[in-house]
Amino acid sequence: MSIFNAMNASASALTAQRLRMDVISSNIANANTTRATVNENGAVEPYRRKMVEVEPSDRNFRTFLNKATNNTSNNPASGVKVTSIVEDEEPFKLVYNPTHPDANEAGYVQMPNVDPLKEMVDLMSATRSYEANITALNASKSMLMKALEIGK
């Protein structure tokens, strides 16, 4: 077991939370983008909200076996990894605005499925997680520094 396991776990979480904040920022920036992609029919579609999927980085049999048998000596903290960035399949919002260039025949415009309030809550959550991991990283660093001072 390495003395850097806690730091590696915090570092992987910092990377995942930073990516999460970047994706959320992109969602907020495109909250009013009505022409983001072209679908298979050739029609333009609004921006679709994106989300980051995260899972534990060590998902092998040994990890689960050690956890089941309460054997933590060979079960180091392995951190997390981003598996994918997926699009939210929630339907687009319809807004009545007949003067908009992307309005359909009935005067409705398809707007992105991005809710700025939900995105701000997710951003605050990602920011708090990032800060918590920085605190854990600093605590690990402090413990290692104190361990080095023992030999003096």
Domain ranges for the chain: 1-31+50-87+130-152
Question: How sure is the predictor about 38, in pLDDT bands with cuts at 50, 70 and 90?
Answer: confident
Residue 74 has a pLDDT of: 52
The pLDDT of 99-108, averaged and rounded, is 92
* 75 pLDDT above the threshold of 80: no
Tens-place pLDDT, residues 107-137: 999 999 999 999 999 999 999 999 999 999 9
> Coil, strand, or helix at residue 140?
helix
Q: Give the model confidence (pLDDT) of 52-69 as tens digits.
A: 999 887 766 666 677 677
25: left (phi over 0), alpha (psi -120 to 50) or beta: alpha
Give the Cα separation of 94 and 91 in Å (integer): 9
Provide the residue type at 15 as one letter.
T
**pLDDT tens digits, 8-24:** 889 999 999 999 999 99
The residue with tokens 């072209």 is: 38
Backbone angles phi, psi at 144, to 5 degrees: -65, -40
Handedness of CA 113, 116, 117, 120 (dihedral sign): positive
> Is residue 49 a contact partner of residue 27, using CB atoms and an 8 Å limit?
yes
